A and B are shown apart, each in its own frame.
Chain A
């Protein structure tokens, strides 16, 4: 299957070919790839793509999946409207 047609990050529309290009250039951590391709920066915050990217990196580096650190988890856990936060502080 064409790597261009395999979507890794749905929020930011990133495909497997883009990931492999960066791996070949020496960017082999999730934090590096996240910043250059925006993987995991969309509304799902990496809940789907993070694990797919971890698997791809472990295959590329020929190491165990758990040896590839996941991206740092940042708040919020889910999207909240700014308006709702303002209401909540009243």
Chain B
């Protein structure tokens, strides 16, 4: 079978890239996924949408993505609703170092048009009345951050791409990528072979393995992150509550449940996505210390997913020097869902040889070769 472009991975990065390319008139786009729609990191994520970052690139990508998501139901012609709830992110500073860093972060964010602000504990208490103010020094708040239903958002991109002629193959695993003199010539799955000159690696947790199939050693690895959800109750919390220092994010989703997660210190670099009792213990202790009333809620389910970590916690996007026709969209380090719209736009621009909306110097893979010191994003959980 011939294909103009083969995209590996039907998570939200893959579906957004497929949609943006198809919307520019590209035909014969194929998307391959090894399981059902939204089986990977997209469907396992906390689904927060945040613009409060410490690096310029992450701020710009987040803001452009929020602007897309605000109109996504109309733009994508979605007959359901992606459920974008914009009630903000409240990020608490738990150390004097964080307090000072957050002042700088807000300055950077404001300079890029993001309407975040530094606030006192008392102001934070007005926004989230049940927060324990003994746990932090100050906070930042951005009212246009929020939450989106990740299953619906991916479905919206998927359906829009399908209507534009993109073909999807689910439950089909890529087994090898064929190259000829460092040029892409084909992709073989467990069911068939596609002749193609362009492959896009949007494989999330498996991005490193897919890179190796094309002879490209992408500096990313998979890392387990766990999460849980409670029984639903009436609405008591608008924004996401987040702490980098205490390793916590917790949000009440529109359906009424609280979704919360934290990173595992010293997590192994592998594809393990099993749930652990250690996470349940630590998560319970952390969330009850910040939001005591949440202790009254029953946990009904826990699960895990893979972050695809890059050296500087910023995504790796675009073409690579090692192989002609091989493009990457990976290394999102836990933020691929909220960056999906700009990811799709940038990849479509690069593949069409159009000027890019954002300067790619700090996003392309060879930034790690050229830069002596890499600016690492610290605002991550």
A residues neighboring B (CB under 8 Å): 12, 27, 29, 31-32, 35-36, 38, 41-43, 45, 74-76, 79-83, 85-86, 88-89
Which residue of B is nearest A89, CB measured? B281
Please count how many residues in chain B sit with their CB below 8 Å of the partner chain's CB atoms.
31
* B64 contacts chain A at the CB level, 8 A cutoff: no
Extra pairs beyond A29-B36, A74-B302, A74-B303 (18, CB < 8 Å): A12-B255, A27-B37, A31-B35, A32-B36, A35-B38, A35-B43, A36-B152, A75-B280, A75-B301, A76-B300, A80-B299, A81-B299, A82-B230, A83-B284, A83-B296, A85-B280, A85-B299, A89-B284
Complex Cα distance, B297 from A76, in Å, reads 14
Using an 8 Å CB-CB cutoff, how does the interface string of B211-236 with A read, 1 for contact, 0 for none?
Answer: 00000000000000000011110000
* B346 contacts chain A at the CB level, 8 A cutoff: no
Contacts of A89 in B (CB 8 A): 281, 284-285
Given contacts A31-B36, A32-B36, A35-B38, A82 and B288 within 8 Å (CB-CB): yes
Contacts of B285 in A (CB 8 A): 86, 89
Which residue of A is nearest B257, CB measured? A41
Does A79 lie within 8 Å of B280, measured CB to CB? no
Does A85 lie within 8 Å of B284, measured CB to CB? yes
Given contacts A29-B36, A35-B151, A36-B151, A79 and B300 within 8 Å (CB-CB): yes
Does A82 lie within 8 Å of B255, measured CB to CB? no
Q: Which single member of B231, B275, B280, B296 contacts A43 (CB below 8 Å)?
A: B231
Does B37 lie within 8 Å of A32, measured CB to CB? yes
Contacts of B298 in A (CB 8 A): 43, 79-82
26 residue pairs of the A-B complex, CB under 8 angstroms, read: A27-B37, A31-B36, A31-B39, A32-B36, A35-B38, A35-B151, A36-B152, A41-B301, A42-B232, A43-B231, A45-B300, A74-B275, A75-B275, A79-B300, A80-B299, A81-B296, A81-B297, A82-B230, A82-B284, A82-B298, A82-B299, A85-B281, A85-B299, A86-B284, A89-B281, A89-B285
Contacts of B294 in A (CB 8 A): 82
Contacts of B275 in A (CB 8 A): 74-75
* B155 contacts chain A at the CB level, 8 A cutoff: yes
Report the minimal beta-carbon distance from B3 to chain A, rounded to whole angstroms.
Answer: 21
Report the minimal beta-carbon distance from B18 to chain A, rounded to whole angstroms.
Answer: 17
Contacts of A75 in B (CB 8 A): 275, 280, 301-302
Complex Cα distance, B164 from A83, in Å, reads 50
Q: Which single member of B39, B43, B155, B302 contacts A76 (CB below 8 Å)?
A: B302
Which residue of A is nearest B260, CB measured? A82
Does A74 lie within 8 Å of B301, measured CB to CB? yes
Report the minimal beta-carbon distance from A81 to chain B, rounded to whole angstroms.
Answer: 5
* B295 contacts chain A at the CB level, 8 A cutoff: yes
Does A82 lie within 8 Å of B287, measured CB to CB? yes
Residues of chain B in range 229-282 having any CB-CB distance to chain A below 8 Å: 229-232, 255, 275, 280-281
Given contacts A31-B39, A35-B38, A36-B151, A86 and B295 within 8 Å (CB-CB): yes
Which residue of A is nearest B277, CB measured? A75
Contacts of B300 in A (CB 8 A): 42-43, 45, 76, 79
Which residue of B is nearest A85, CB measured? B284
Does B284 lie within 8 Å of A79, measured CB to CB? no
Complex Cα distance, B35 from A29, in Å, reads 11
Complex Cα distance, B197 from A33, in Å, reads 35
Contacts of A82 in B (CB 8 A): 230, 284, 287-288, 294-299
Does A76 lie within 8 Å of B255, measured CB to CB? no
Given contacts A74-B275, A89-B285, A45 and B301 within 8 Å (CB-CB): yes
Contacts of A27 in B (CB 8 A): 37
Complex Cα distance, B300 from A42, in Å, reads 8
Contacts of B302 in A (CB 8 A): 74-76
Contacts of A45 in B (CB 8 A): 300-301
Contacts of B35 in A (CB 8 A): 31
Complex Cα distance, B170 from A29, in Å, reads 11
Among A27, A35, A43, A74, find the residue whose CB has the most chain B CB atoms closer than 10 A.
A35
Report the minimal beta-carbon distance from B228 to chain A, rounded to whole angstroms.
Answer: 9
